[in-house]
Amino acid sequence: MSFLNAFIDRFYAFTICMSKSDSEFIFETEPRSLGKISVGRDMVEGKINFVGQVIQQTDEVWNFKTDEKDFYYKLHSFTWLDDLAALASVEARLLAQNWLHSWINKYSSGFGPGWTPALTGMRLVRWTHHYLFLTQGCSETKLQKFNLLLARQAKFLSKRAMSGPSGLPRFEALLGLIYAGCYLKNMEKFIEPATRALADECHHLINSEEIVFSRNSQDILNILTSLIWAKLALKDSKWNPSATHLETIEKLALIVRNLRHSDAGLPRFHGSCGDVDGQLDQALSHAESREISLSETNVGYVKLSNSRTSVIIDAAPPLMGKEAVKADASTLAFEMVSGQRRVFTSCGPGYLFGSDLSFSSRRTSSHCTVHIDNHDSSEFRSDEGWLQVPKKVILNGPRTVPKEISYNEGTKIFEGAHDGYVKNFGLTHVRKLKLSQDGQSFEGEDLMIAIEDSHKRRFDRIFKKSGSTQMSVKAAFHLHPNVRVRFDRENNRVSLALKNGELWFFNYSLDSYLQLEPTIFFENGLFEPLESKKLILSTELAEYGTKINWSLTRALDKDLSVGDFFSK
């Protein structure tokens, strides 16, 4: 956000909060946002963790100081209300009401980091969803203050909803304005301009490369969810959503359906944590079309799926520039799920546990792909904006990522390449992945190769300058924390046991060396990252071309038809 935009937001917030406002609910809506009962229980017990910042319940939460921008986003959006409302106990309600009225007392004059269009929109939506939960047992004075702040936030959004960044933040702001018009008295006048602006944003979204540009599957799901909630709110108020609005819902539903793993989660690339807790199923249930895309490529990803096995590959360049604060150097990385169980996965979004872990989770070595020693396929640098905490952004990365999908007697084959290592080593990463028709075997071949004469000359120059060619090509395979590993060195094989009783065998070529190393798994809602393991398959970098072969085969000694339903 620019300094000018921030100043104007504060000006409008302060001015509106000084004016007279009056509103109340016309009628109440059901809570459409989903929360976790376990997280709500932790919060009631005083175990509160917002984006790596641990807060004691006895502390004044609104006075907590940190440099983590994501912490303030979580706190002032009131999305934590979903977890307390999911628990729905008396203690949860009292905690929610205490935090709500503390916010009102501290920020009702229009000051504080929460007065941005996106945060105001998200906050107004959560207050609407959980109106009864927040107001039950409140005094008349507190109820009046609450209704007053609803009206002020609605007026603020009427002035500033379109000033925020395009994409998800603007959809969240417009959703809040539509909710205000549909559910608050004296705010009906905002419905028509808000729906018109939403239609314009939808038109821009589906007629541009912005969806592909983002690469964050969870952001795409959140936009879809916002559009569905807007549709339901408009229908509650007897308004018809625009044709563009409905068309965008169907297009986004098609995208996220194709990005859905067999465990009903999303891929963990570019800021997505993958675990969507029923949000994806809820969103898809409201989409009219049940079509599944015939195209295996989607917003830069490729999906191979057969039987109970799904593989999703990051097959496009990453987002680059100042907006790339969550983009990963994960080109040609894959994730694999068997039924309801994740086998190979990315480390996930480290920003959930603070900025110190954010960068390490975005590196190439934190994904299931190939890297050269400790080098990344994309170039990171620190972006030190004025009055902002320095963050790593991707300055340069793979520009050319060709890919092709083919079929051979039911076997799905992905072939792709990227030029992320050409600049520094003259080498192109070429990856070939095969998933069998029955989903029982998954094979891979990785090449690091100097293709053109200019690349070979660059390779020679670099290693002549360094005086050594003793570098390693490493293929990383990050395992989900629930996967148990056992080595069989004699047969060049590793057994991977899943919690539902499945057994997979990982095989590798004799000219490669396999190591088991520690890794970290980042998951939303936890107080600290989970420890896990990764397989590192390495070989020395050969002149102009290095190959690594590997395969994964499922043992067929168990009936897996219902195993996932009874295993924890």
Q: In the listed set 151, 169, 187, which residue is the last one of a domain according to the structure?
A: 169
Query: What pLDDT, on the 0 to 100 scale, is given for residue 56?
Result: 74
Does residue 330 fall inside a structural domain? no
* Cα–Cα distance measured from residue 360 to residue 39, given in angstroms and rounded to the nearest whole number: 26
CATH, residue 519: 2.70.98.70
Range of the domain at 1: 1-169
Query: What pLDDT, on the 0 to 100 scale, is given for residue 291?
Result: 65
Does residue 362 fall inside a structural domain? yes
Does residue 177 fall inside a structural domain? no
Of the candidates 312, 386, 368, 354, which has an alpha carbon nearest to the alpha carbon of residue 6? 386
Phi and psi angles of residue 473, each rounded to the nearest 5 degrees, phi first: -95, 125
Query: What pLDDT, on the 0 to 100 scale, is given for residue 568?
Result: 46
Determine the residue type at 317: P
> Three-state SS for 344?
strand
Query: What pLDDT, on the 0 to 100 scale, is given for residue 566?
Result: 42
The answer to whether 418 and 450 are in contact (CB under 8 A) is no
Query: What pLDDT, on the 0 to 100 scale, is given for residue 324?
Result: 86
Query: What pLDDT, on the 0 to 100 scale, is given for residue 563?
Result: 54
Does residue 43 fall inside a structural domain? yes
* Cα–Cα distance measured from residue 277 to residue 258, given in angstroms and rounded to the nearest whole number: 18
Can you give the pTM of this predicted structure?
0.92
Q: In the listed set 140, 169, 198, which residue is the last one of a domain according to the structure?
A: 169
Residue 108 corresponds to which tokens in the numbers above? 């009702």
Query: What pLDDT, on the 0 to 100 scale, is given for residue 565?
Result: 44
Does residue 81 fall inside a structural domain? yes
CA distances, 406 to each of 157, 206, 207, 295, 417 (Å): 49, 28, 28, 12, 15
**What's the domain count of the chain?**
2
Phi and psi angles of residue 481, each rounded to the nearest 5 degrees, phi first: -55, -25
Q: In the listed set 169, 201, 226, which residue is the last one of a domain according to the structure?
A: 169
Task: Provide block-wise average pLDDT over 10 residues at a time, the chain (568 residues).
Answer: 80 87 80 91 89 75 85 94 95 95 93 94 96 93 92 95 90 97 93 97 85 84 96 95 94 91 93 85 83 65 93 94 90 96 95 86 96 93 66 91 93 96 95 96 96 92 69 94 89 89 92 93 88 95 90 77 49
- Bridge partners of 477, per DSSP, are 535
Hey, how many other C-beta atoms are within 10 angstroms of the C-beta on 30?
7
Does residue 455 fall inside a structural domain? yes
